[in-house]
Amino acid sequence: MRCNLLLAALSVCFCRCGLAAIVQVDRSLDGQVQLRETVPPLQMKLVPIGTWRTGDQLAIRIVASNEVYNDITACIVSADAAKEYRAGSPCEGSFRSKTPIVIKSTVAESGSKSLILDNSYAEFITKNIVISLRYRKSLTDNELTKIQAPLEKIQSNLSAIFKGADFNLYVKSCGQSNAFSDHNTADITFCWELIQEFVAQNNNGALVATLLHEYGHSLLNRWGEPGSSEEDMADQFATVMLLKGGDNGRRMLQQWIQSWIKRDSKAEAMNQLQRGDTHSLSIQRARNIQNAMNFPEDLTRRWNKMLYRHMTTDTLDKIIRNPSKSDDVDLAKEARM
């Protein structure tokens, strides 16, 4: 986990501490990866499947999409043993078996592992293989702290800025790549799957913006303001908070835009027609953020009218003493009374 990514987010917030709620990071981390490989006849492939620690659990499903000859040898070895591997060497898995093959393994010895796909016994048939790797691993104390500490910092900063931010933040595996704000409690769940997706993309901005989007839902809900369930409102809250964060915040917004542009808006549109969705299409979300960045004071000043009413006295005093370009001192004084 590249947790220094989150640390960079801290400069976007005013700094004041005062934890009122918990940040709970689930030590058990589930995940899933899918890979595709083509293995020609008379050949084998070593597929690196990551570094694991003793006790981590792996479940690998191997499917050859060939209509008739859908067999393969598939087994797991340590990265060191993989270099020495020859057909028939000791290996944890199935040999010349029809697929699907499922290998379930609890890691006995920490280290890098490889999946061997051995088609060397086949003389003519290339095997087209789909590998689905599911895993469950436990974070070390160090890894846990690295993710929890910056999240606690973000939460404490927001609690210092706004009244009513005393809800909890949970990080856990959800079985899907998502984040939620609970309508009843305002508690936020940030799924490991989504965090890992952003980390894999090296997209810290999207990670922080997504967290702020959920804070937008939760805070509007807590304040009893209209629009707490609306996705565009939550996007605007995140955008305004990052615009208030200066250059660092703008960089994060650019990264957030990139994460939306990468998505398949045509597929989303089809899904919306068939099933409905309260989110704007990703491409539109990207455009909305870009528009806000083009006219940052326009959006921020509109939001100030609501945000100031829910800011702590300390934060309003700070604005009155040292306003930024997008602040409105008279409005802050009015909210302060």
Residues binding Zn ion (CB under 5 A): 231, 234
Q: Least distance (Å) from Zn ion to the CB of residue 241?
A: 14
CA 227 to chain centre: 24
Q: Least distance (Å) from Zn ion to the CB of residue 234?
A: 5
Q: Least distance (Å) from Zn ion to the CB of residue 86?
A: 53
Q: Least distance (Å) from Zn ion to the CB of residue 278?
A: 8
The smaller minimum CB distance to Zn ion, of residues 129 and 234, is found at: 234
For tokens 């990139």, the residue is 258
The smaller minimum CB distance to Zn ion, of residues 148 and 210, is found at: 210
What DSSP string runs through 192-218?
HHHHHHHHHTT-HHHHHHHHHHHHHHH
CB distance 122 to 39 below 8 Å: no
How far apart are the C-alpha atoms of 97 and 170, rounded to whole Å? 42
The smaller minimum CB distance to Zn ion, of residues 40 and 227, is found at: 227
The smaller minimum CB distance to Zn ion, of residues 189 and 304, is found at: 189
Q: Least distance (Å) from Zn ion to the CB of residue 210?
A: 9
The smaller minimum CB distance to Zn ion, of residues 91 and 234, is found at: 234
Q: Which of 203, 200, 212 shows the shortest CA–CA distance to 259?
A: 203
The smaller minimum CB distance to Zn ion, of residues 76 and 234, is found at: 234
Q: Least distance (Å) from Zn ion to the CB of residue 73?
A: 46
The residue type found at 174 is C
Residue 2, CA atoms < 13 Å, CB-side half-sphere:
12
Cβ atoms < 10 Å from Cβ of 298: 11
Helices and strands of the chain, counted as H and E runs: 12, 12
Q: Could you tell me the CA-to-CA distances from 174 to 21, 26, 31, 154 in Å, in that order?
A: 21, 11, 9, 22
